[in-house]
Amino acid sequence: MRNIITLQPSLFEDYKFMDIQFPKPQYLGAKYIHSDWIAKHIPENSNVILDAFSGSQSIGFLCKKLGKTVISNDFLLFNSEIGKALIENKNTILTYDDINILFSPNSDTNKYNLMEYLFSDLFFIREETRFLDAFRSNVDFLEDDYKKALAFSVINRAMTRKVTMGHFAHTQALVYASNPERIKRNRSLRRPIKDIFLELFVEYNNAVFDNGTDCVAYNENIFDLLPSLSDVDVAYFDPPYCNSHADYQGFYHLLETYTNYWKDKEFINGTKRYSPKKESGFDTKKDIINSFKRLFKLSEKIPYWLISYNDRSYPSIETLIELISPYRKVSVERKIYQAGRGGKGSVAGSSEILIICKP
C-alpha cells in the first residue's frame, strides 16, 4: 500500500504573499537590506509581532508577508503614516480620481503656504514648494484615512527621491540639482515632484494587501504603548543608535513638518529644522540606559525579543546584554559592513548586530 502524504495548507500560506514587494526605501539605517537575515530569527510559531520603532516599516511589512499580525509603531508621524498605508491598510488604494484631487489648485493659500515660506530655494525651487502646499491642502479631501496615509507616504518618498542623499540635513540640494554629474547618477534631481509621485504611487498601490489578520499602526511613544498591549509573541526593537551617525529628526525634519503641517514651531539653523525635537529617550547618553531598562521591564510579558543594534553605538553590546540578562537568555548574531551605507553607524568595518532574546 502506498504512503499518502497530505500537505497542510499552512505550508503554502507562509509563502503566498512573498512576491509582494515593499517600495524600496531611501532611509538611513533602514533594515530593508537586512530583512532576510532578520526573518530567519522570527519564531515560526509566533502570531503577533510588535515592530516598536518601525521607521521605514520594512520589517513590519516583512512580518505581514509572513502572515503575522503586525503591531507597527513609530513616534514620528511621517513614519507611522507609512505603517497605516502599508501595514494596517488591507485593500484601499489611490485612484486617478484621487490624484486629480491631490493635484488640484491650493484650496486655501492663506493657510497652506508653509512649504513655500520655509523651504523655497533651500531644498526645492518655489514652483515645487507651491505644488507641495497645494497637494497638502487637498489631502483632507480624500475620502478615508488609508488614502490619506498613502498620499503622505508617496509624496514624502517623492521628496526624498528629489533631494541628493535623500535627506534634509544639508543645504546643498539645489547646488547638487544643477550639477550635471550628479544628475547623471540621479535623474530625479531635475524631475518635477509631481512626476516622481506618479511613478511611485503605482509601487505603493501594488504593496497594499490583506494577509488575513488585523494589523494596526500606531503613532505613540513606545513607553505609552507597551502597557496597553497584550498577547504579543515577539517584539522587534530597532531604536535610534545613540552616538552613531543618524539623527532621524535632523535628517527627516522636513517630512515630519510637512505631514503635521506645523505653524507653531520654531524653525532653526540653515535647514529650517523644527525645534524643540520630540524626545524619544534613546538619543542621548544621559537618557539611554534608563530608557533601555524601562523598555525591557515593560516588555517582560512578551516572550521573544529581537533587537537590532550596531557595535559603534552607546551603550556597548556588553552593557546592553547585562541589561537584558535579568529577563532573557541572550545570543548575538553579527554582520560586518564591507562598505559604509550611511546611517545608524553602518560604516565599513562596523557590524550590524541582532540580539536574540529568548525565554
Nearby residues of 295 by Cβ (< 8 Å), 6 or more positions away: 222, 223, 226, 237, 239
118/255 same-domain check: yes
86/97 same-domain check: no
Decide which of 268 and 179 is more confident.
268
The verdict on whether omega for the bond into residue 105 sits within 30 degrees of 0, i.e. cis, is no
123 has a pLDDT exceeding 80: yes
203 has a pLDDT exceeding 60: yes
261/232 same-domain check: no
Q: What does the pLDDT average to over 193-220?
A: 98
* Assigned domain for 184 exists: yes
CA separation for the pair 119, 251 (Å, rounded): 15
147/258 same-domain check: yes
Residue that the C-alpha cell 521573544 belongs to: 304
Tell me the per-residue pLDDT of 137-147, one tens digit each, with 9 for 90 and over. 999 999 999 99
C-beta of residue 163 within 8 angstroms of C-beta of residue 140:
no
pLDDT at 243: 82
221/84 same-domain check: yes
Q: What is the pTM of this model?
A: 0.92
CA separation for the pair 36, 306 (Å, rounded): 14
pLDDT at 180: 85
Share of the chain above pLDDT 70, in %: 91
In the chain, the number of structural domains is 2
254/302 same-domain check: no
C-beta of residue 166 within 8 angstroms of C-beta of residue 146:
no
Kindly indicate the confidence band of residue 181, based on its pLDDT and cuts at 50, 70 and 90.
confident
Nearby residues of 131 by Cβ (< 8 Å), 6 or more positions away: 192, 193, 194
* Assigned domain for 278 exists: no
Length of the chain: 359
Tell me the per-residue pLDDT of 226-258, one tens digit each, with 9 for 90 and over. 999 999 999 999 998 888 766 889 999 999 999
pLDDT at 244: 72
C-beta of residue 354 within 8 angstroms of C-beta of residue 46:
no
By DSSP bridging, strand 351-358 and strand 329-336 are antiparallel
96/139 same-domain check: yes
Q: What does the pLDDT average to over 262-268?
A: 95
349 has a pLDDT exceeding 70: no
Q: Radius of gyration of the chain from Cα atoms? A: 21
76 has a pLDDT exceeding 60: yes
DSSP state of 178: T
Kindly indicate the confidence band of residue 188, based on its pLDDT and cuts at 50, 70 and 90.
confident
CA separation for the pair 116, 220 (Å, rounded): 29
Classify burial at 120, counting beta carbons within 10 Å of its beta carbon; exposed 0-12, middle 13-18, buried 19 or more: middle
7 has a pLDDT exceeding 50: no
55/85 same-domain check: yes
* Assigned domain for 203 exists: yes
CA separation for the pair 301, 296 (Å, rounded): 10
Nearby residues of 230 by Cβ (< 8 Å), 6 or more positions away: 301
C-beta of residue 332 within 8 angstroms of C-beta of residue 353:
yes
220/85 same-domain check: yes
Reference 151, options 44, 258, 11, 18; nearest CA is: 258
257/139 same-domain check: yes
- Domain span at 269: 92-207+248-273
118/1 same-domain check: no
Decide which of 13 and 90 is more confident.
90
pLDDT at 177: 85
Classify burial at 185, counting beta carbons within 10 Å of its beta carbon; exposed 0-12, middle 13-18, buried 19 or more: exposed
C-beta of residue 104 within 8 angstroms of C-beta of residue 175:
no
pLDDT at 15: 59
Amino acid of residue 335: K
CA separation for the pair 340, 359 (Å, rounded): 34
Q: What does the pLDDT average to over 262-291?
A: 95
Cα of 125 vs its chain's centroid, Å: 27
pLDDT at 4: 35
DSSP string covering 306-344, please?
EEEEETTSSS-HHHHHHHHTTT-EEEEEEEE-SS--SST
* Assigned domain for 172 exists: yes
C-beta of residue 238 within 8 angstroms of C-beta of residue 246:
no
5/123 same-domain check: no
C-beta of residue 328 within 8 angstroms of C-beta of residue 307:
no
Buried b or exposed e, range 15-51, using 16+ CB within 10 angstroms: eebeeeebbebebbbbbbebbeebeebbeeebebbbb
